[in-house]
């Protein structure tokens, strides 16, 4: 059975909890939030570089009721990003994909 990605309903009020310039960092934070059971939506902010140079990046939106918890998890991750990376590696090694 395929796993279906959970996203907040677009009609719900969503709150920005994270933004960055690197999509790879946003994907790490997305994984962190989803592993904690927080559904999130990742959106790219692309602005025309000839008009707004340097504007763009990626934002993560969550339901308003999840925002405080999400921000707390992100703050903890930012204080110890190595721990999150190590935890992901250990979790992968303990539960490799069955092909």
| CATH fourth-level superfamily of 1-76 | Hypothetical protein rpa1041 (3.30.70.1530)
Please give the pLDDT value at position 63: 94
Instruction: Record the pTM.
Output: 0.63
3-state secondary structure of 13: coil
Can you name the residues that pair with 60 across neighbouring β-strands? 18, 42
Domain ranges of the chain: 1-76
Judge residue 57's burial from the number of C-beta atoms within 10 Å of its C-beta, 0-12 exposed, 13-18 middle, 19 or more buried.
Answer: middle
Tell me the per-residue pLDDT of 21-73, one tens digit each, with 9 for 90 and over: 888 889 999 999 999 999 999 988 776 656 666 566 889 999 999 999 999 99
Please give the pLDDT value at position 23: 84
């Amino acid at each position: 059975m395929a796993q279906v990605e959970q996203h907040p309903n677009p009609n719900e009020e969503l709150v920005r909890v994270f933004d960055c310039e690197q999509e790879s960092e946003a994907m790490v934070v997305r994984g962190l939030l989803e592993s904690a059971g927080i559904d999130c939506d990742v959106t790219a902010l692309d602005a025309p570089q000839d008009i707004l140079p340097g504007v763009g990046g990626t934002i993560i939106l969550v339901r308003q009721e999840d925002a405080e918890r999400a921000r707390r998890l992100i703050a903890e991750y930012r204080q110890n990003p190595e721990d999150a990376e190590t935890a992901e590696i250990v979790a992968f090694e303990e539960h490799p994909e069955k092909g």
